[in-house]
Amino acid sequence: MRKRLWAVFAVAGPGLLAGLSDDDPAGITTYSVLGADHGYRLLWVLLASTVALIMFHNLAARLGVVTGQGMAGLIRQQYGVRAGVGALAALVVANVGTTVAEFAGIAAGWELFGVRRQIAVPLTALIIIVLVRRGSFRIVERVLLALSAVFVSYIVAGFLAGPDWGAAATGLVVPTMPLTRDAVYITVATIGTTLAPWGLSFVQSYVLDKHLTPHDLRASRYDLVTGSVLTGVIGLFVVVACAATLHKQGHTITDAADAAAALRPLAGDLAGTVFAIGLIGSAMLAAAILPLSTGYSVTDVFGRPAALNDTPRADPLFYGTTLTVTVLGAALVLIPGAPLVPILVGTQILNAVALPPLLIYLYRLGRDRDLMGPFATGRRMATAQFAMIVALSFCVLALLFFSFL
């Protein structure tokens, strides 16, 4: 038993970091709007998204460990340069837009405590740049895992809000779906923010940087499942906190900062404060991981796997990409009058539209016995994955239909 626990701890990291970083400001905003606008009745969407997260994060990790390649590079190798570059382009554009969302969350969170964004954003960007460029793999991983502890604040805020747990349980297991544009949009946004394309790419590349082998797959599964479940649990507490307060009082919000500010008079100053702390911490975690995910993808598609233990001089493409994404994301937030809302909305739509093709690629790669050998996806799991892809594709088509009405 002790040996098994040590094995799990030794491989921990990819699942926890990728899963928890999905609860970034864009994710927290989505969950907050879900609870504020629809109460408890769409919680089942979060449960379904968490199940999908478990399945596809495990698939991405298995592909990385067995093939020794990241997602974009593997797609390029198996399906051609055009497919690989197309996947990379979608990932880079979406990642830059999402990085803007992270720094917008950092700015909004600190402004709730009276700190101006002109101070908070550059300082945070500098900390991230120094950490990634100067820290070893082990140091970067430990700092990011320690930062993940801030997500406890959302659980605290959820309890302080005094939710109706009976209604929450019903919403979690009894699917109901209002056929309205807003309901379809928030459903797709919940799926897209929980099962983000950049998270899949990060998992597949990070297991390589961590030097995991097929022997580690069983132990790493605990890490991946734990990270995915924690993602869903944190999302659950955000939804119920907003459902118990904002939805009950008829409040509408546009972002997570609105939720934190609105919680203070409704659930007490402590609830609003811990919610704001969670917003800042989650934004910092994701603002560090998104540039890493982008750097991994760019180097991988050129057949040059990156490693955090390499120096910037030894791997200028990887570190140059992470630096560019970090600086660009921070700079856009600081531009007066920058169209942040269109950037954030466009990014979420791109994430949602890009996800089904990427999942189809992963599904086909996982089923390829010539590529995966004994680690190929089994029939039952493949059926479940295919059903998830079909359901997600239907939701995206519904979103596009309502968008052009």
Vertex 225 angle, CA 385 and 167, to 5° = 85
Per-residue CA distances from 122 to 118, 333, 352, 378 (Å): 7, 10, 30, 48
For residue 322, count other CB atoms closer than 10 A to its CB. Answer: 26
| Residue 271 pLDDT | 64
Q: Give backbone dihedrals phi and psi of 188, rounded to 5 degrees, phi first.
A: -65, -40
Mind listing the pLDDT tens digit for each residue in 24-49? Answer: 777 878 888 888 889 999 999 999 99
Domain ranges of the chain: 13-403
Half-sphere exposure of 313 (CA within 13 A, CB side): 0
Place of tokens 């930062």: 147
Mind listing the pLDDT tens digit for each residue in 49-75? Answer: 999 999 999 999 899 899 988 888 899
205 vs 267, higher pLDDT: 205
Can you spell out the DSSP letters for 44-85?
A: HHHHHHHHHHHHHHHHHHHHHHHH---HHHHHHHHH-HHHHH
Residue 335 has pLDDT above 80, yes or no: yes
Residue 6 has pLDDT above 60, yes or no: no
86 vs 367, higher pLDDT: 367
Q: Are 231 and 23 in contact (CB under 8 A)?
A: yes
Confidence of residue 346 (pLDDT cuts 50, 70, 90): low
Mind listing the pLDDT tens digit for each residue in 243-264? Answer: 888 888 777 776 656 666 655 6
Q: Are 168 and 40 in contact (CB under 8 A)?
A: yes
Residue 404 has pLDDT above 50, yes or no: yes
Q: Are 69 and 304 in contact (CB under 8 A)?
A: no
Q: Is 88 left (phi over 0), alpha (psi -120 to 50) or beta?
A: alpha
Q: State the Cα–Cα distance between residues 141 and 145, nearest whole angstrom.
A: 6
Across the chain, mean pLDDT equals: 81
Element (H, E) at 256: helix 256-267
For residue 383, count other CB atoms closer than 10 A to its CB. Answer: 11
Confidence of residue 285 (pLDDT cuts 50, 70, 90): confident
CATH number for the segment(s) 13-403? 1.20.1740.10
Mind listing the pLDDT tens digit for each residue in 349-397? Answer: 677 778 888 899 999 999 999 999 999 999 999 999 999 999 888 888 8
237 vs 160, higher pLDDT: 237
Place of tokens 């070893």: 136
Q: State the Cα–Cα distance between residues 364 and 306, nearest whole angstrom.
A: 25
Q: Is 5 left (phi over 0), alpha (psi -120 to 50) or beta?
A: alpha
Element (H, E) at 370: helix 369-372
Q: Are 112 and 257 in contact (CB under 8 A)?
A: yes
